[in-house]
Structure 1
Amino acid sequence: MGADGGTASALEQALSTYLAHLRVERGLSANTLAAYRRDLERYLAHLVASGRRRAEDVTAEDLSAFVTNLRTGDDGGRPLSPASTARSVAAVRGFHRFCSAEDGTPDPAVDLRGPSQARRLPKAISTSEVERLLDASSIGDGAVPLRDRALLELLYSTGARISEAVNLSVDDVDLEVGAVRLLGKGSKERVVPVGSFARRAVDAYLVRARPELAARGRGTPRIFLNTRGAPLSRQSAWAVLRVAAERAGLPHEISPHTLRHSFATHLLAGGADVRVVQELLGHASVTTTQIYTLVTPDTLREVYASAHPRAHD
């Protein structure tokens, strides 16, 4: 983009300022910022090709053409799914909202909407499948099976994101109280209870396995370590989950979010209030959490039938 001289530079400067705002003032993670950058660099390339020099020169027609290009790939990029298109549209709307607030000009994207999406149910596995998965994680001898069992037990017990779990330090877990301090998106901290099964698994790992792994490294406060004594990565944690799922013979496609989804689904099925589950998951809005209620329609019908005064004659 820089080869286009002044045309590109004004837009690039606006993008740089916006990304700095997201990083410093909004506290977005590196991964989220990278996604914003990818989406908006594609958008800025579209504007440059359309002859736009500044963000305030953009018209509704420019925006409409960009959304069409996202779905068709006519701009030379890879065609995007409805979900990815919606994410890119959200990035564009945020960018223009920021630019408008900065310079006081009208926001050309105020009415921009992405494609409608079918509301997909989160993937969850049953409680019996969770037990099979956890049992499969601890097959074998040595430090690694103890670590893997502790990791997966903690993920299911707390509903933590896999990135939150691998970033845990020893001081973040209080096994006596039965609580863990998680640092979520936007550096938002929350304290989540830890169940007895996970407490025992983590305690066994800390006492019998972590010292052995730590002795192989240079010293780190992180709880979960790899075989070299360094912090366990997200990719390695995902591999732990995948191997355990294969051993357990689970028919589902298991992802890093599987235990988090299962945690929420099982709590709601057991009668937990959706706002409590929202706090445990660290969701900013209860709307995000409410999608899990779609997974348990039988339970919801049972609750309605037993609780509503006019559910029956």
Structure 2
Amino acid sequence: MAKPPVVELHQIRHALKVAAVTGQTPVRDVALLLLLYGTGLMPNEAAKLLISDYLEANGSVRVESTVRAEIAFNSKARPLIWASSKICQAIDNYLSYRVVARQGAPAAYRGLDPHGSLFRASDGQPFTFTRRITGSGVISYSCETLTEIVRRLHQQAGIEGGNASAARRTFAVRLHRDGRSLKLIQELLGVSSLSAVKNLIQRDPVRLSSIVSGVI
């Protein structure tokens, strides 16, 4: 199975510009793109984030948060770091929009329900999940609406093969390019082994082009 593409920074910037002027909820879509590319979260995890995963009661951002075990794809908690000013500004803009759109209530947490979803569908309601039963009888749930939103945001920006998996792989590759250890990348992604991390970062197109350019 082919790996999802690594999306370069100029492509991400273009996708953000397009997202900002299209769709039903542009301010949310911009925040979603930045979230996925800046954290490596999966769609199901993003859809299950709560206001309290992002905000303290006094309205400040929780810089060191957690992908809680109950929402993590592997049921294991891992760090969720809200340190990027770009991501936080985009989410703050979206939350301000929600308050103005009366998707909040007078209280702490900037007037939003701490137990409510951080991201919502365009109608202001929490994202819904589709229940599936595998051939072996295992029950799973997927947020197909959010997954489709992310796919559409890449498609309208002309990013071939772009989706949430591409954002996750790009997150890993960019950390590796910055010299971060495989162990750190593993911790942030929550993957089971270092070999899984290596598989994500192998065949980095920038590294390959750098190698080939120096051949002659």
- Normalising by structure 2, we get a TM-score of 0.72
C-alpha distance after superposition, 1:36-71 (max 9, x if no partner): xxxxxxxxxxxxxxxxxxxxxxxxxxxxxxxxxxxx
1:232 to 123, 127, 132: 127
Relative distance call for 1:172 and 1:240 in structure 2 (3 A) is same
Higher helix share: 1
Gaps of 5+ in 2: 105-112, 129-142, 212-216
Q: Write out aligned runs for 1:23-34 (5 A).
A: none
What corresponds to 2:155 in structure 1? 246
Gaps of 5+ in 1: 1-118, 304-313
Relative distance call for 1:129 and 1:273 in structure 2 (3 A) is same
Mapped contact 1:146–1:205 kept (Cα < 8 A): yes
CA distance in 1, matches of 2:38, 2:22: 23
C-alpha deviation, 1:210, in angstroms: 5.1
1:161 to 42, 62, 66: 42
C-alpha deviation, 1:191, in angstroms: 1.8
C-alpha deviation, 1:239, in angstroms: 2.5
C-alpha deviation, 1:301, in angstroms: 11
Relative distance call for 1:298 and 1:208 in structure 2 (3 A) is closer
Relative distance call for 1:281 and 1:213 in structure 2 (3 A) is farther
Larger Rg: 1
CA distance in 2, matches of 1:219, 1:196: 21
C-alpha distance after superposition, 1:125-179 (max 9, x if no partner): 111111112222221598x111111111111111111111000000011463434
What corresponds to 2:184 in structure 1? 276
Relative distance call for 1:224 and 1:176 in structure 2 (3 A) is closer
What corresponds to 2:91 in structure 1? 202
CA distance in 2, matches of 1:213, 1:264: 37
1:187 aligns with 2:75: yes
The one of the two structures with greater contact order (alpha-carbon pairs below 8 A, sep at least 6) is 2
What corresponds to 1:55 in structure 2? none
Q: Write out aligned runs for 1:51-66 (5 A).
A: none
Number of residue-to-residue matches in the alignment: 181
Q: Which runs of 4+ in 1 moved over 6 A?
A: 300-303
SS of alignment partner, residue 271 of structure 1? coil
Q: Write out aligned runs for 1:1-313 (5 A).
A: 120-140=2-22, 144-174=25-55, 176-183=61-68, 184-194=72-82, 195-209=84-98, 212=101, 214=103, 221-233=116-128, 234-250=143-159, 252-296=160-204, 299=207
Relative distance call for 1:228 and 1:214 in structure 2 (3 A) is same
* Paired amino acid for 2:203: V
C-alpha distance after superposition, 1:68-90 (max 9, x if no partner): xxxxxxxxxxxxxxxxxxxxxxx
Mapped contact 2:169–2:201 kept (Cα < 8 A): no
CA distance in 2, matches of 1:140, 1:294: 34
* Paired amino acid for 2:12: V
* Paired amino acid for 1:242: R
CA distance in 2, matches of 1:291, 1:264: 10
Relative distance call for 1:246 and 1:297 in structure 2 (3 A) is closer
